[in-house]
Amino acid sequence: MEVELKEMLDEIQSLKQSFPDSSNPSIEKLHFHVKRLADLAKSAPVWRSKVKDMSAEVVDSNPYSRLMALQRMGIVENYKRIREFSVAIVRVGGIGSVAAEMLTRCGIGRLLLYDYDKVELANMNRLCFHPEQAGMTKTDAAVQTLQDINPDVVLESYTLNITTVQGFETFMSSLENKTFRPEKEGSGVDLVLSCVDNYEARMVVNQACNELNQTWMESGVSEDAVSGHIQLLIPGETACFACAPPSVVASGVDERTLKREGVCAASFPTTMGVVAGLLVQNTLKYLLKFGHVSPFQGYNSLKDYFPTMEMRPNPQCSNAACLERQKEYLLAKPARDAAKAKMEAEVLLVAEGPLHADNEWNISVVNDREIDAKDTASLDTLPEGLTRELPSADEFLELPASGPAEMCVDDLEELKKQLEALNAD
C-alpha cells in the first residue's frame, strides 16, 4: 500500500509539471489527499509476513527463536514437526479461544475451529476477543485475530453446531479430510480438543472420536468458575466419556443436571487460562512426544490442588463404538507387548555402555557417604596452627548441668545489690 501511494504521488508530480500553469487547484487538492493517505499508511501497524522455514536463529525478527530453544535445550527432539500437526478445537469460548491462541503462537500447522455462537460484550471478561468484534461469529473473530498473530497457521472456520444432524456430518467429514497431510494415517487431524460447556456436546465429540478412533482431550470449568479439569481419551485404551464422565466419578451427580436453565454461570479468565494452559501443555507434550501426558488432571483453585488419576475403559460402556475400540485394543495386545519388550531391550543395551565415552574434565562419581564422613572429620581436626574463635555447638552441651543455674542465681543476687544501691541514692 505504501509503495503504491508513493508511485501515485510521483505520477501526480509529473502531471503537475505537464501543465503550463503548475498551480492547478484540482491537482493540488488530489496531491494533498494522496500525501495524507501516504502518511497514514506509514504510521499503520506492521503486519507479520509468513515464515517459510522455522529457524533457531536468535534474532529479534525471528518469531520462533524462543520456541526452537526448547530443541536446543533438549526438551523437545524436533520442534519443527509442530507444523505437520492439525488440531481441531470444538467451541471457541473461554478455554477454546485461549487454547487456539496459544497453539497459533506456538506455530501449529493447522487449526480447525468449531462454534455457532457470536461474540458478545459479556464475553470480554475472557481472553482473546476484543470489544470491536462484538456481533461477529466466534470462529470468524478468532480467525481474524489468529491470522494476524501468526499467518503461517492454516486456519479453518466452521460456524456450526455439532449437536445438530447437519453439524455432526460436517464435523465428521472435516475431521476425515486429509488434504493438509495426505500421507497421515487415520483421520485428518492429530488431536481433537473439546472445549464445550455441556454434557450433550461432550457426548457428541465422544461419539465422533470413538467412531473415527480419534484421540482427543476433554476440558471443562465448573459452574462457579473455581475448578476445572482436562482428560486424555484414547479410544479403546482409556475410559471414553460415556464409560465414566468425570463429574459423575467425582461427586456421583448426574452431569445433565449441572448446567441449569436460566442460571448465569460464573467465569474467571484466570481459571479458564489455567485450564487452557494445562490443555495446550499436554497437547504439545502429546504431539511433540516429550514429558508425561496427564490422563486426567483436576484443578481446584481454592486449595491449589491438582489431583490426577487414570481411568480404564468400562467393558459395560453404553457406547457401541467404544466397545468396538476396546476389542481392537485387546486384540493388538501381543503386538504391543512385543514392541515394548524390543524397546526395553534396546534401552538396556544403551544403558550398559559407558555414559560418556570421553571424559575431558576427568569427572568421577564418588559415594556420598564418603564425602560426609570426610567433611565431619575435617571439622573436628583443624590444620596445624589454627584455633577456633568460637566453641563448637557440641562443647556447649558438655557444660555441667548445674553450672548455668548457679550462674543465674549469682547474676540475680548481683542485680538485686545494684538496684538497692540505686534506691539508696
Give the range of 19-27, 33-41, 113-121, 240-248 binding Zn ion by CB under 5 A: 240-248
C-alpha–C-alpha distance, residues 241 and 253, integer Å: 15
Query: In b/e form, how buried is each residue of 307-334, taking b as 16+ CB within 10 angstroms?
Result: eeeebebbeebebebbbebbeebeeeee
The verdict on 240 binding Zn ion (CB under 5 A) reads yes
CB of 173 to Zn ion, least distance (A): 24
Q: Which of 106, 240, 243, 264 is catalytic?
A: 264
Supply the minimum distance, in Å, between the C-beta of residue 244 and Zn ion: 8
Nearer to Zn ion, 162 or 240 (CB): 240
- Contacts of 63 by beta carbon, 8 Å cutoff, 6+ apart: 48, 51, 107, 150
203 binds Zn ion (CB under 5 A): no
Binding to Zn ion, residues 353-412 (CB under 5 A)? none
Residue 259: CB atoms within 10 Å: 13
The distance of closest approach from Cβ of residue 192 to Zn ion in the complex, given in angstroms and rounded to an integer, is: 16
CB of 317 to Zn ion, least distance (A): 3
Region from 48-56, 65-73, 232-240, 287-295 binding Zn ion, contact rule CB under 5 A = 232-240
Q: For Zn ion, which residue of 102, 278, 317, 321 counts as binding (CB under 5 A)?
A: 317
- Name the segment binding Zn ion (CB under 5 A); options: 37-45, 243-251, 275-283, 408-416: 243-251
Out of 201, 242, 272, 279, point to the residue binding Zn ion (CB under 5 A): 242
**Exposed/middle/buried for residue 402 (C-beta within 10 Å: 0-12, 13-18, 19+):** exposed
Among 243, 258, 279, 321, binds Zn ion (CB under 5 A): 243
Of 142 and 317, which CB lies nearer to Zn ion in the complex structure? Answer: 317
Nearer to Zn ion, 189 or 317 (CB): 317
Q: Shortest approach of Zn ion to residue 78 CB, angstroms?
A: 34
59: burial class by Cβ within 10 Å (0-12, 13-18, 19+)? exposed
Burial of 358 (0-12, 13-18, 19+ CB in 10 A): exposed
Of residues 321-350, those binding Zn ion (CB under 5 A):
322
CB-CB contact of 156 with 113 (8 Å): yes
Q: How far is the CB of 330 from Zn ion (least distance, A)?
A: 14
Least distance from C-beta 339 to Zn ion, angstroms? 25
264 is catalytic: yes
Per-residue binding string, Zn ion, 110-129, x by CB under 5 A, is: --------------------
Number of residues that bind Zn ion (CB under 5 A): 6
Of 142 and 323, which has the nearer Cβ to Zn ion? Answer: 323
SS (H, E, C) 195-235: CCCCHHHHHHHHHHHHHHCCCEEEEEECCCCCEEEEEEECC
Contacts with Zn ion in 280-299 (CB under 5 A)? Answer: none
Q: For 385, left (φ over 0), alpha (ψ -120 to 50), or beta?
A: left
Q: Pick from 278, 130, 265: which is nearest to 217 by CA? A: 278
Which of 21-29, 66-74, 250-258, 320-328 is the region at the interface with Zn ion (rule: CB under 5 A)? 320-328
How far apart are the C-alpha atoms of 146 and 101, rounded to whole Å?
Answer: 6
Smaller CB separation from Zn ion, 157 or 214: 214
Nearer to Zn ion, 188 or 245 (CB): 245
- Compare residues 205 and 322 and give the one whose CB is closer to Zn ion: 322
Catalytic residue positions, numbered:
264
Q: Which residues contact Zn ion by CB under 5 A?
A: 240, 242-243, 317, 319, 322
